[in-house]
Amino acid sequence: MKTELQNIKENYYLEALRYMDNANEILKKAGKNSRYYKDAKYVKAACGVAYSAVLVALDGMFELKGIKKKKGRKNVNYYTENLTKIDKKLLKSFNGAYDILHLDGYYDGITIIKLIETGFEEALYIIDKLKVVK
């Protein structure tokens, strides 16, 4: 029988993966042209959803680690401060995902395929770390 912590972990993990599936479906609509995606609108949307997947995974990690939820809207400092406390290596991945997915992809509309793929890889790395949180 699953414990409450296992259920929490599984729920956050599956939800984060669902976001990533959605992000990949959106990204397919962008089309490719050599080294770039054709349509920045779809890249922006996909990066926003992928970054949200990262936040879902981190929220799960924080809950499992007993980190209290912040009242009101969370910002990037909330995530970086708490990652500094629990996993400095994972903080590097988060910073990469934040820069690529949130800033470059979502806000700036960067369409370089390799860059966006790297952002998605970092997101999946963070999500996979949720499976091993104790």
- What's the number of domains the chain is made of? 1
Q: Which domain holds residue 112?
A: 4-132
CATH number for position 71: 1.20.120.330
Q: Which of 24-38, 69-83, 89-103 has the lowest mean pLDDT?
A: 69-83
What are 54-57's contacts with CB under 8 Å, separation 24+?
A: 54/16, 54/94, 54/97, 54/98, 54/101, 54/122, 54/123, 54/126, 54/127, 55/79, 56/12, 56/15, 56/16, 56/19, 57/12, 57/13, 57/16, 57/126, 57/127, 57/129, 57/130
- Express each pLDDT in 19-34 by its tens digit: 999 999 999 999 999 9
Residue 95 reports pLDDT greater than 70: yes
